[in-house]
A and B are shown apart, each in its own frame.
Chain A
């Protein structure tokens, strides 16, 4: 069974600085999807960024980028130029595609609470 570990329960960063959230996972699969979701205090879970394991290039979305190290099973999220609106709970998640025999299940980490300070 796959597991996802987020080793930082809480982090804080000053506005405009850069912060990196860590995520490691355990799987024997070769092809899979990885996601970072953000859940602000207003509660809606929002997709931040996603990565397909067969793609070597790290995904980027504006100020958000990942460092995907497949061999090390590491999928960290870097937030550049942090903004107050980035304050949220961040969840890392793993999914095996159905096309690869997977199910509909997302495997979540326990989350990292990020606070951006003014």
Chain B
């Protein structure tokens, strides 16, 4: 099973709203990722959690706030977003380290976010 789930599938929010994106995996992976993807572009890494601790923040604005409540869940809290933040937000997971392709990242279906 290589399934990563994300909710909601679509989200429309105003610039003053607060919303959250959710990601879940049950593969026993201990690394989880948030990516932002604009149309026709590759994903851009935002955050990485390893063993529930933030290990990488790619200089993301503070209006994006990640949270990893446990090893299976990853949230992205959104507040005071800008229209340019509209994009597809992808979650991924992998093992932290290992052999036999364990570090391969598996992606969820994404949340399509529109900021008005």
Contacts and interface: CB of A to CB of B under 8 A. Distances in A.
B109 A43 contact: yes
A70 B91 CA distance: 30
Interface residues of A, number: 26
A25 B8 CA distance: 35
Given A50-B104, A104-B48, A97 B43 contact: no
A104 B56 contact: yes
B103 A97 contact: yes
B26 interface: no
B105 to A, nearest CB: 6
Interface residues of B, number: 30
A46 B50 CA distance: 22
B110 A44 contact: yes
Contacts of A47: 2, 104, 106
B51 to A, nearest CB: 12
Interface string B72-116: 000000000000000010101010111101011111111010000
A47 B106 CA distance: 7
